[in-house]
Amino acid sequence: MGMLKEYKEFISKGNVIDLAVGVVIGGAFGKIVSSLVNDIVMPPIGYLLKGINFKDLKVVLTRAGTDAAGVAIPEVAITYGNFIQIAIEFLIIAWVIFLVVRTINNMKRKDEAVAAPPEPSTQEKLLMEIRDSLKK
């Protein structure tokens, strides 16, 4: 029963739950970015490049066919277009993460600026007491 209790304590820690939520949201965010790149960003780029679809770009090393026994031989190719597509997705994800972190940092700076001023030093307190006593 001790191991079950220890496991429950481990799972209920905030870091584990935060990590799990981050992974799930990250997966969903990846799908959104993939759709953004595939459906919105790449079609205009393909149009500007005269209808080129990046996913179709490849260097064929061996064409598909059949051997003498009639067995199908699959095509062997370097699909560099898919790499370009994934690199663009990465750059967009990195840019969005940069913007989110930048926004969070700006919000933190504003919160720090609004924070209460530091307590006056002992010397300043004594000077304020002297000032107040001279006013009397």
Sites in the chain below the pLDDT cut of 70: 1, 14, 113, 115-116
For residue 115, the model assigns a pLDDT of 66
Could you give all domains of the chain from N- to C-terminal order, each with its CATH number?
Answer: 2-135 (1.10.1200.120)
Q: How many Å apart are CA 35 and CA 98, to the nearest integer?
A: 20
Q: 32-41 contacts: CB < 8 A, separation 24 or more?
A: 33/89, 33/92, 33/93, 33/96, 34/89, 36/92, 37/85, 37/88, 37/89, 37/92, 38/85, 41/88, 41/92
Q: Tens of pLDDT along 99-110? A: 888 998 888 887
- pTM equals 0.55
Which amino acid, 1? Answer: M
